[in-house]
């Protein structure tokens, strides 16, 4: 299995390490020619969504990425990656996201929670995290809530989390993503 990991900005190395531990091959996407390789799925990592969006457009990656996701390419977006999948950005998931919903860096926190279809007591690390304000259709299903806020969702072969599973040792979310790619 071969997974593309966007490496324009943000926490991409940790995703690659997690996927390697699970036996998946990965490659970094930094420009359009990287994206043109064959792949079974894609990771959109955390980072700064405004910067990532600008780079997607400047590098000619926005439309190719959007089209492949809409055609069924599995995608896992974490934190900023979740924002990119939402309304007003790539618009591949039917959800509205609030950026920096938990405040600035000082509002970062760690907790444990349940993710539907994945398991209980998953570690959840939130860093200047967003959350999903509203699910806009029944095609987008809520997978997890923390303090009443939606922090994970799935729509078809797309998964989005407000937290960073790549920063903890628990591999269940990445395993779940790889099962969608198989």
Whether 106 shows a pLDDT value over 70: the answer reads no
**Cβ(37)–Cβ(83) below 8 Å:** no
Distance CA(25)–CA(125), nearest Å, equals: 25
Q: What is the pLDDT of residues 32-47, one digit of tens each?
A: 999 999 999 999 999 8
| Active-site residue, from 79, 140, 174, 181 | 79
* Among the ranges given (23-27, 43-47, 96-100, 177-181), the one the predictor scored with the smallest mean pLDDT: 96-100
Predicted local confidence at residue 103, as pLDDT: 62
pLDDT, one tens digit per residue, over 114-139 is 999 999 999 999 988 899 999 999 99
Residue pair 49/56 in contact (Cβ under 8 Å)? The answer is no
Residue 107 in this model has a pLDDT that exceeds 70: no
Q: Using the predicted structure, report yes or no on whether residue 180 has a pLDDT greater than 70.
A: yes
Query: Catalytic: 20?
Result: no
- Assess whether pLDDT exceeds 90 at residue 155: yes
Please state the φ and ψ torsions of residue 4, each to the nearest 5 degrees: -80, 135
- The predicted structure's pLDDT at residue 104: 59
Digit-coded pLDDT (tens) for 7-22? 988 889 999 999 999 9
Structural domain containing residue 125:
2-181
Find the CATH number of the domain harbouring 34.
Answer: 3.40.50.880
Let me know if 79 is a catalytic residue: yes
Mean pLDDT of the chain: 94
Q: What is the mean pLDDT of residues 152-177?
A: 97
Quote the CA–CA distance of 182 and 54 in Å, as a whole number: 31
* Active-site residue, from 140, 166, 174, 181: 166
Answer whether 115's CB lies under 8 Å from 143's CB: yes
Q: Say which of 14, 15, 140, 164 is annotated catalytic.
A: 164
Domain count, the chain: 1
Q: Residue 9: what pLDDT?
A: 83
Is 93:178 a contact under the CB 8 Å cutoff? no
Tens of pLDDT, residues 64-104: 999 999 999 999 999 999 999 999 999 999 999 988 776 65
Residues 6+ apart with CB under 8 A from 19: 3, 5, 26, 43, 174, 178
pLDDT at 10: 81
Q: Judge whether 116 counts as a catalytic residue.
A: no
């Amino acid at each position: 299995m071969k997974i593309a990991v966007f490496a324009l900005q943000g926490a991409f190395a940790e995703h690659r390490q997690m996927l390697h531990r699970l036996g998946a091959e990965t490659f970094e996407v930094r420009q359009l020619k990287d994206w043109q390789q064959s792949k079974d799925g894609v990771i959109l990592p955390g980072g700064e969504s405004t910067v990532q969006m600008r780079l997607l457009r400047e590098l000619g990656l926005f439309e190719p990425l959007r089209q492949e996701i809409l055609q069924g390419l599995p995608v896992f977006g974490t934190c900023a990656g979740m924002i990119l999948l939402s309304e007003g950005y790539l618009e591949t998931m039917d959800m509205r996201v609030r950026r920096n919903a938990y405040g600035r860096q000082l509002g970062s926190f760690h907790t444990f929670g349940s993710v539907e279809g994945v398991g209980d007591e998953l570690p959840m690390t939130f860093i200047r995290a967003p959350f999903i304000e509203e699910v806009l259709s029944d095609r987008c299903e809520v997978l997890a809530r923390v303090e009443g806020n939606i922090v994970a969702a799935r729509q078809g072969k797309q998964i989005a989390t407000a937290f960073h599973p790549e920063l903890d040792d628990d591999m269940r979310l990445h395993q779940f993503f790889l099962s969608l790619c198989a």
